[in-house]
Chains A and B, each alone.
Chain A
C-alpha cells in the first residue's frame, strides 16, 4: 500500500514534467550502453573521415583482392569445364572464398589495457559480427569483428586476453590454441604432448576452427617451451603488424 502510494507519487505528472530532461539523459545513456557506444563511434567515424588513412595500403588491399578474384574465376572455369566433361562434382569449398570487404582502420588501441581496432565500415557495407579480419596482401589474420554499427565495426585483436583461436602448424598439422596475452606476442598452447615444433614454423588457422576460415596465416613460432605442462607452449610473432595497419580486409 505504502509502495503503491510512493509509486503513484513518482508517476505524478508534475514530477515527470520537472525532471523530463534528466529522464531523457538516462534513456540516452542506457541506449548508448546497450548499443555498445554506437552513436559515439558513428559520430567519431563521421568527424574523423577527412583524416582517414591514405590510399597506399588501400591499393595493396585492392590488388590482393583482384588476384584472389582472378584465382577464384580460374578455379570456377576449371570446375565448369570438368562438369561439362562429366567429371566428378567438385568438392564443396574448393571454389575458394570470395574476396573480403576493404575497411580503413580509424582507431587503433593495441597498447595498454585494450587490444582492439575500429574500422570505417559497418553493417551498411555488409560487415557482420564474427567475420575474420586480415591484413593487406597475403591473408594474415589480425582479429575478429565483435560488434558493428551502421558505419563502423569493432575488432578484437588476436592479442586481446579474451581471444582464443584454434590454430595448427603448417606442414605437420599439429593442433593448438592461440591465447591472447595482452602483449604483442600471443601464446600457442599445443593440444598434444609430442609435438614437432621449432622457431620459424608457420602457424595458420585450424581446419577444425568454427570461428575462422581454415588456412589463414597467423604468425611464426618465435620461441618454444618444450618443458611446459601438460603440453608444449610457444610464443608466436604475428605476421600482420597491427601498428602499421591502415587498411584491412574483412572476410
Chain B
C-alpha cells in the first residue's frame, strides 16, 4: 500500500489537493456533530516530521494560503500551520517513537487545538460562536484519525524522502 505508483512531487500534489478538497466537503461519517477533522493538520504532521522544520513551515505556509483562499471570512490558518510545521519538524531526528499511535494522536490534537485557537484569537474570543465546542469536537476527531492516517503518510514520505533515503 505504501508503494503507490506515484513519484514524490506527484504524491505531494495529490495528497495536498485531497486534504484541501476534503476540507471543502467531508463525508458525514467522518464528521463529529457536523464538524470535519482538521485535514490540514493530518497532512502537515507526517510531512513535517519526515522532512524537517523548514519544509514543514513552507508546507504550512502553502497549505494555509490555499485553504484561506477557499473561505469567505478573513480568518487565516497560516501562522498556526507555519508554527506547527516548525515545531513538528524538530521531531525528525526522533523518528521511531513518533510511529506510536499515541504520540501522533497527541501531536495532532495539539495541532488542531493550535489552529482553532488561532481562529479564536482572530475573532477576539470567537464572539457568539461556540468556540469551545468547535475546538474540542474537531481536535478529538483529528486526534482519533491521526494514528492510522499519519502513520501511513509517515511511511509514504519516508520511502520518498531525499533526507531519509534507504
Residues of A within 8 A of B (CB): 25, 29, 32-33, 35-37, 40-41, 43-44, 47-48, 106-116, 118, 146-147, 154, 156, 160-162, 181-183, 243
Contact = CB atoms under 8 A, between A and B. Distances in A.
A181 B129 CA distance: 7
B70 interface: yes
A112 B73 CA distance: 12
A25 B116 CA distance: 28
A162 B74 CA distance: 10
B134 A113 contact: yes
Contact of B130 (A109, A118, A154, A183): A183
Nearest to A185: B128
Interface in B108-166: 116, 119, 123, 126-130, 134, 138
Contacts of A161: 73, 123, 127-129
Nearest to A51: B25
B21 interface: yes
A161 B71 CA distance: 13
A40 B65 contact: no
B30 interface: no
Q: Which 10 A-B pairs have the closest CB atoms?
A: A111-B34, A37-B69, A182-B129, A37-B70, A181-B128, A107-B25, A107-B24, A156-B72, A116-B72, A33-B69
A113 B134 CA distance: 8
B62 interface: yes
Specify the main secondary structure of chain A where it touches its partner.
mixed
A40 B20 contact: yes
Given A29-B62, A112-B35, A146 B72 contact: yes
Contact of B129 (A32, A37, A113): A113
Contacts of B75: 113-114
Contacts of B127: 161, 181-182
B66 interface: yes
11 contacts: A33-B65, A33-B66, A35-B69, A44-B24, A107-B25, A110-B34, A111-B33, A111-B35, A113-B119, A146-B72, A182-B127
A221 to B, nearest CB: 18
Given A113-B75, A113-B119, A29 B65 contact: yes
Contacts of B65: 29, 32-33
B103 interface: no
A7 to B, nearest CB: 24
A108 B25 CA distance: 7
A183 B119 contact: no
B17 interface: yes
Contacts of A29: 62, 65-66
Nearest to B70: A37
A116 B25 contact: no
Contact of A43 (B21, B34, B116, B128): B21
B69 A32 contact: yes
Given A44-B21, A48-B25, A114 B69 contact: no
Central interface residue in A48, A107, A110, A156, by most chain B CB within 10 Å:
A107
A251 B161 CA distance: 51
A162 B71 CA distance: 12
